[in-house]
Every structure is written in C-alpha cells, then in structure tokens.
Amino acid sequence: MTTNVLCLCTGNSARSILAESLMNHWGQGAFRGYSAGSFPKGEVHPMALDLLNHLGMPAEGMRSKSWDEFAAPGATAMDYIFTVCDQAAGEVCPVWPGHPITAHWGLADPAAASGTRAEQALAFREAFRILESRIRYFLTFRFKELKREELQRMAAEAGKVLPS
C-alpha cells in the first residue's frame, strides 16, 4: 500500500514542488508525493524545474494547483500533510481538515529570493537541501511499529531537521 503525502505552501510554485519531487524520488514507490497551494501561482517557478531537471529528479507533469483538488469528493486520501510555508515571513499556511498526520516544515521561499540569478539559484538549492534532509529523515521512521501519536510527534520533529 502506498502512503500519500501532500506538501502545501502558499503559491505551489517552488517549495512544495521540490518536496513533491523529493518524496517521489526517495519514497521509492512506497510513498507518493503531491503538492498544492492555498493561493497557487498557476505555474511552477522555472528555477525549481531547472534544478529538478539538473539533478535528475522527477519533474514531469509538475504543475501549480489549488489544494481544493485534494479536498474534493473522491480525491486521493492523504496520510500525511506537511506545510512548507514560512510563517516567520508572514505567509498564511493552509490548514487541512480531516485526519491525516500533519506537521509544519517551514522554510524560506526561494521564489522570493532577490539578487543575481546565481544568488537566486543558490536559494533554490538551499531549499532543496533542507527539504531533502527532512524527507530522508522522515522516511527512516518505523511506520508500522509506531502509534499515531508518536508519528505525529516525529513528523513535527522532522520539520526542524537541517542539512549537516
């Protein structure tokens, strides 16, 4: 059985897209990543796609979409939902109803980075590195052995993991 993970942010153009790709890559079929936004931009940031393609990560079919698609009747049920928006920057993170395990994995939005193209690309790489560390840590959990409360606590802890 596949475990479904939805990564949410505001615009669904960068962070949640990177997280979706990483979950699909590292989840190796046991975990299926999805992404959406509360106020989707309508297009994936080109630097997010460039980075994923450069690193050989799954990027085909990526699109910016509303989280409403996942709340609609008949939508794929989610087991985990992680918000990756940066509350410190004053972004409004979506709140998900229902019973999936949820956690906040906030990080700065690389799409908001300013400076040269190289500086902007560095922001995307850093977001990718942070998300990759968190997802790889999350995937080490002994899911079948842990109770829901333990999984909830550990999922929240994963949102604090930083690359070493």
Q: Which of 71, 93, 108, 156 is catalytic?
A: 93
- Annotated active-site residue 85? The verdict is yes
Q: What is the per-residue burial (b if ≥16 Cβ within 10 Å, else e) of 155-164?
A: beebbebeee
Residues 12/37, Cβ–Cβ less than 8 Å: yes
Q: Which of 22, 85, 135, 151 is catalytic?
A: 85
Q: Which of 9, 52, 78, 155 is catalytic?
A: 9
- Annotated active-site residue 7? The verdict is no
Structure tokens at 134: 């968190």
Q: Which residues are catalytic?
A: 9, 85, 93
